[in-house]
A and B are shown apart, each in its own frame.
Chain A
Amino acid sequence: MSPISLIARKESGELLKSGRGLAWLLALSVILSVLSLLLVSNTELSLLDNAQVVYMVMGTITALGALLAVVLGSDAIAGEKERGSLVPLLLAPLSTSDIVLGKMGGQVVAWGVTYLLSLPYLWAVGSSGQNLFEAIAYLALLGMPVVLGFGFYALGLSARFGSVRAALITALITLMLLASPLLLGPGLRQSAIGKVFDAVNPFSAAVNSFDSVVIDSQPLSMQLGRFLVTLIWLVMTLWFARRSVKIAEI
């Protein structure tokens, strides 16, 4: 097994076996259960249509996935440093690249677990509608680069600051800023600033894409620009994480 996959295996083990990781997954399930229950009730009462409900669940899953990625990313370097487990890792015959890529691998697994965990909820709210398959596919296609990007960004901050708290606060503020399209009203989003923000914001790109595919049933060709924005976000954060690790000389 390559060093990268060994580190990734440890990272995934931490999510699936440690008390902290399991608590996160339990919290994720509880939030999605409550949300799904409320949204299904709304659909039953005809307060919301099915596509609207599926769109809201997709946005929430992406936000929760990004939140988990930020928590894991902030802990990735600084947490190990604070607990004293980073030095033994650096003293093993591994390159810094192996360690960082392994930790990124752990983020991929964490997103995979979040995605799989959310599928039953997506099915529960969307099985009676028309675009469930598209919802599942687009959540994977656009949710993944957005979520992983947040994880890599937090990992970079973790290396730069060397403090879990500082990295977590900075990453959470960024997440809240970029995820604001979920919170802002349509009026603000239609303003000039809102439009520019929407055009460059990876979170907006993903959420707008979910909207147009699930609610407006638009084809893939209409989503390429948005997909590109999320990919650029992923590449930029990947570069930022690797650069930060290099600067921090871990």
Chain B
Amino acid sequence: MLIEIDKLKLVLRGRQILAGVNMHMQRGEICGLLGPNGAGKSTTLSVLTGLREATSGSVLVLGMDARSQREEIHRQIGVLPEQAGFYDWMSAPDYLRWFASLYGRRLTAADTGQHLARVGLDVKNNEPIGTYSRGMRQRLGLARALLNSPKLLVLDEPTNGLDPRGRREIHDVLLGLSQQGDVGILLCTHLLDDVDRLCNRIGILHQGKTIVEGNLAELLATLQAGRRYRLHLLSPPRDAALPPGVRLIAKRGEWWHLDIGAVASPDAVWRALLDRGWVIAEIHAEGGGLEDLYLKLTMTEVAA
């Protein structure tokens, strides 16, 4: 287990900030930590990384106690905090070299070049970090988090400030890491698209409590939050039978509204429909899926 958080509670200055957080994560998983503003996501991360001490509950990271063994944990994890600050007068290679030395690592110029290239950061050698755009700083933060070849990567809003291409590149880096098998990634984000693309596990926090935790596909299937699409057909289909798991929600003229369920991949569904003689001109996503699940759960909690 990379992360085992059970019944975590935190009281700060008489105020209950966390009121029962549970989270479990295995090697190779990408776990998304979701929740509305003020739900306690960043506080959970600060307890997880040993920066704050829990009032009660158990927090184990890589099998070690998050607070008392934090130095050893820090040696084995990489963290990209929400506010990824740097020393603006340093250049990126100098900064990475200096930061690596805190881990007892000596980086050559080729090593720093490799680390920067891995996150798609192309910089001139002596350009100070102070001149970087937000996206470049975000990439540098990710390069910093990866410096020690971590077993667990904790990322707070990693694609903040990145353009669509940049986001896709960071997604690819993270997916690549996860596919190597032994790195777990905990992603704290507001961007459900990031979670949808990257995560196989999620935890949703609301008012300092975990309201749901588990495998994303299973949760979507259990809570019947499929994915909805609107298809524009050029002619009525020869065979109107739908592939298994796909449900017709409504039909308005040439527009067919489908729920493709949680388990099937959209590409496989379109292929099956084309095979059935569907002449599809346009496909539009209509929400559903994770977004619906998220709204449903957080709204239910608010109503409760």
Contacts and interface: CB of A to CB of B under 8 A. Distances in A.
Contact of A3 (B52, B72, B102): B102
Interface string A71-86: 0000000001001111
A1 B71 CA distance: 17
Contacts of B88: 18, 83
16 contacts: A6-B101, A13-B89, A17-B90, A20-B89, A80-B85, A84-B84, A85-B86, A87-B83, A88-B84, A88-B141, A90-B51, A91-B74, A92-B74, A93-B75, A93-B103, A94-B102
B100 to A, nearest CB: 10
Interface of A: 1, 3, 6, 9-10, 13-14, 17-20, 80, 83-88, 90-95, 249
Interface of B: 49, 51-52, 71-72, 74-75, 79, 81, 83-90, 98-99, 101-103, 141, 144
Given A13-B90, A17-B90, 18 more contacts: A1-B101, A9-B98, A10-B87, A14-B89, A18-B89, A19-B89, A83-B85, A84-B81, A84-B84, A87-B83, A88-B86, A90-B51, A91-B74, A91-B81, A92-B74, A92-B102, A93-B74, A93-B75
A19 B101 CA distance: 24
Contact of A91 (B49, B86, B89): B49
Contacts of B144: 88
Given A6-B101, A10-B98, A87-B83, A93 B89 contact: no
Contacts of B101: 1, 6
Contacts of A85: 85-87
Contacts of A9: 98
Contacts of A92: 74, 99, 102-103
Contact of B81 (A6, A87, A93, A249): A87
B152 to A, nearest CB: 12
A88 B98 contact: no
B72 A93 contact: yes
Contacts of B99: 88, 92
Contacts of A87: 51, 81, 83, 85
B73 to A, nearest CB: 9
Contact of A86 (B49, B85, B98): B85
A67 to B, nearest CB: 21
B24 to A, nearest CB: 22
B90 to A, nearest CB: 8
Contacts of B81: 84, 87-88, 91
B85 A93 contact: no
A93 B71 contact: yes
A84 B71 contact: no
B51 A6 contact: no
A14 B102 contact: no
A18 B144 CA distance: 21
A243 to B, nearest CB: 18
A94 B71 contact: yes
B96 to A, nearest CB: 12
B158 to A, nearest CB: 14
Contacts of A249: 52
